[in-house]
Amino acid sequence: MDIRLIALDLDGTLLNQEKELSPRNQEALERCIQLGIHIVPATGRPALGLPGVIRNMPGVRYGILTNGARVEDMVSGELISEARIDWQLASRVLTFVSQHPVAYDPYISGRGRMEARFLNHLEEYGLLPAMKKLVLSTRDEVENAIAYVEERKEDVEKINIFTPDQKLRCWLWEKLSQYPELIVTSSLEYNLEINAASATKGRALSKLAEFLDIPIKQTMAFGDGSNDLSMIQTAGVGVAMANGMDGVKEKADYITLSNEEDGVAAAIHHFLGI
């Protein structure tokens, strides 16, 4: 197949449960790069949250970040596309979720802003050790997240919510989905991710392909969660992980092995023979 761009979700897709890039997946990506294929991280994380082995891999230049709220050239710093939540709407959403026993944080300028009462007790909100380590490395501590947004008056890239309470999580998902200006997705069984309605990985993939003058049919995308669904449907070839959500697998063109079984490398070999 003539694939010129591969967009990859990280957590639950390219990375294993320890948030590591396996040698087999790394080798597959490096072979693609040698063939001139763009390897693009497509993640809910900001640029600074990308593992160093991926961010510093020669040939990895572009990133679809914070669920598509930012598309950027990570070498030059050029912003190719962005879609943010109006700060006043973000303040209302944060005020609403603050009335419930959840941890929350807004992303502004590529960093999460989280209160100490959450940062110091992340395990109480369902975060496993590897995810806790990631959160601690990508958040700045603020005294009050809502006040921070209101004082800075900067539009917000994303709002994260963490809770191990599945009933509450589903209820919040339903309530927050009633805002027409927002899209609510999830990448973990204990989180919700709130973006501007136009901030999707699918739209971001289209924007990047257009910027690079690559027909969308010559793109491939990998994912496992609801925040990957738009990208799976947009790409020329949409690949779901065996560990992915049923709704993602139903819409995918192909289902590969799980993230623990190097499913990315397996699918690249299946389609590209490398």
DSSP line for 64-103: EEGGGTEEEETTT--EEEE--B-HHHHHHHHHHHTTSS-E
CB 182 within 8 A of CB 174: no
pLDDT at 200 over 90: yes
Question: What's the predicted TM-score (pTM) here?
Answer: 0.91
- The DSSP symbol for 37 reads P
**Structure confidence at residue 69 (pLDDT):** 96
CB 257 within 8 A of CB 266: yes
3-state secondary structure labels for all residues of 191-256: EEEEEECCCCHHHHHHHHHHHCCCCHHHEEEEECCHHHHHHHHHCCEEEECCCCCHHHHHHCCEEC
The rounded percent of the chain whose pLDDT value lies above 70 is 100
Give the tens place of pLDDT for each residue, 228-249. 999 999 999 999 999 999 999 9
Which tokens is 108 given? 């502004």
CB 82 within 8 A of CB 71: yes
pLDDT at 188 over 90: no
pLDDT at 96 over 90: yes
pLDDT band at 110 (very low <50, low <70, confident <90, very high): confident
70-73 and 62-65 as β-strands: parallel, antiparallel, unpaired? antiparallel
Give the tens place of pLDDT for each residue, 42-69. 999 999 889 999 999 999 999 999 999 9
pLDDT at 109 over 90: no
Q: What is the mean pLDDT of the chain?
A: 96
pLDDT band at 187 (very low <50, low <70, confident <90, very high): confident
- The CATH code that applies to domain 87-196 is 3.30.1240.10
What's the rounded Cα separation, in Å, for the pair 180 and 40? 29
**Structural domain spans, the chain:** 5-83+199-272, 87-196
What is the average pLDDT across 33-40?
A: 97
pLDDT band at 144 (very low <50, low <70, confident <90, very high): very high
**Structure confidence at residue 207 (pLDDT):** 98
- The CATH code that applies to domain 5-83+199-272 is 3.40.50.1000
**3-state DSSP percent of the chain in helix, strand and coil, to 5:** 40, 25, 35
Phi-psi region of 172 (alpha: psi -120 to 50; beta: other; left: phi over 0): alpha
Q: Is 255 exposed, middle or buried (0-12, 13-18, 19+ CB in 10 A)?
A: middle
